Amino acid sequence: MQQPVGTLNRMSRDRSPFIAQGTWRSGALHVWGWNGDSAASAAWLYSGFGRSRWDAQEGWHDSPASFGELSRLQLELPDGGQRSIPTIRLDPYGAAIWLSDTPDDDELSPSLAWFASLVGYAVQLVNARRLVATVDQEGPFTVARWKPVLDAVGTDALAHAASVAPPICRNGSPASTEDILALLVDGFARAVLHHAGWKPDLGRKRSAEVQAARAVFAALAKPDPVIRTGTDDFEVSVELLSKGLVRHRRRLDGEPVVLEPGVKTGISILYNDPKEVGPDRIANAVAAYDLFGGPTIMVDFGTATTCDVVSGSGEYLGGAIAPGIEISLDALFGRAAAVRQVALERPVHVLGKSTMESIRSGTGFGYASMVDGLCARIESELGECTVVATGGLAHLIAPISDRIEHVEPWLTLHGLRLIHEKNVAS
């Protein structure tokens, strides 16, 4: 964000020229005039605002939409003391119109140049949808606001803006540059939605969850950010929605998505207790449904050998769990004194001619037969299914299985990627 330097002489007929300055106070931009000796009068401010055209003879005027209330500001002077000056208070949306409409060949005072730069950046963030909704407590009120989401480049740009801010910009205000940018983004976003009549379609249900979502979305698209209170169930639903928004914000900031209850997967978990389903089984179901539709059986040769099923409508139906190949062999080698460890390879014959060949045969053909048998029993309940295998030993069992049709080594990772995208981009 470059800082243009110069002066904007605000001319008014039969009056001295004043330089338009900007100071942030009470969540808004206050614009006032100064001619090097005294502050501009209320008459000068009135004459300089409320018009929507550029006139080289009379000077530049802002658009009527940005006209704010006339007030007074206590300005702290560099050499000590204070001075009361008349100001025009512009809300963030009005400030954007006023500053962004400045002709290219015009120059601003250093303070307004700084605000113009920050305003332009806020507009870019809103246009790029680099923002997220939040629910916060501000004093006794629960409010919904839009907050900017910055990448590394944006963070550096904001730090630079803070380092070059003229002291007058925050004269008497504790607001940081981050605070000002956040309020500008919030103002622009809600103004755009308000003027567009944004109203998400949440159906006609009147449950506490729907009512809470409706109240939060309404507060995000109107000038007043306050969420009106309701019943105890309503308050609980607002709190849950707030936690979900916090998780979303953290993910946009780079925090990893943890596959746990509350995370969007795109499938329904038809388990007696969905919390008992391992995240790897859920990720496999999401990936299998994306790649093959349903019904599909996912066979995962991992620590355990699992057979899980996703239906044609994207429902996780359950599955079967058996000890994995490697832990079964570990138990065999650890408890049978005469059996040595062998490297797993694809068996050639069912009848082994040595202990090593027999172990390979029993392991390979045994697990292949177990998987084929489980798939047959599942299909006897559900009908014909696609069968896909994954896991570290899928390449060993799939070629000697009668039912495995596809091998997807990265099935779990594919599912995790899909779940991440659903929770970050939604």
Active centre residues (catalytic): 280
* Cα separation, 351 vs 286, whole angstroms: 39
- Chain length of the chain: 426
- Return the amino acid letter for 346: R
Spatial separation of the C-alpha atoms in residues 225 and 220, rounded to whole Å:
6
Cross-sheet strand order for the sheet of 315-323 = 268-269, 315-323, 304-310, 296-301, 386-391, 406-407
127, two tokens: 């246009």
Q: Among 105, 138, 101, which Cα is nearest to 116's?
A: 101
- Closest to 247 (Cα-Cα) out of 263, 267, 231: 263
Angle between helix 152-163 and 110-127 (nearest 10) = 170
Residues 6+ apart with CB under 8 A from 423: 247, 248, 251, 257, 263, 264
Give 123: exposed, middle or buried? Use CB within 10 Å, 0-12, 13-18, 19+.
middle
Say if residues 392 and 267 touch (Cβ distance below 8 Å): no
Which amino acid belongs to residue 201? D
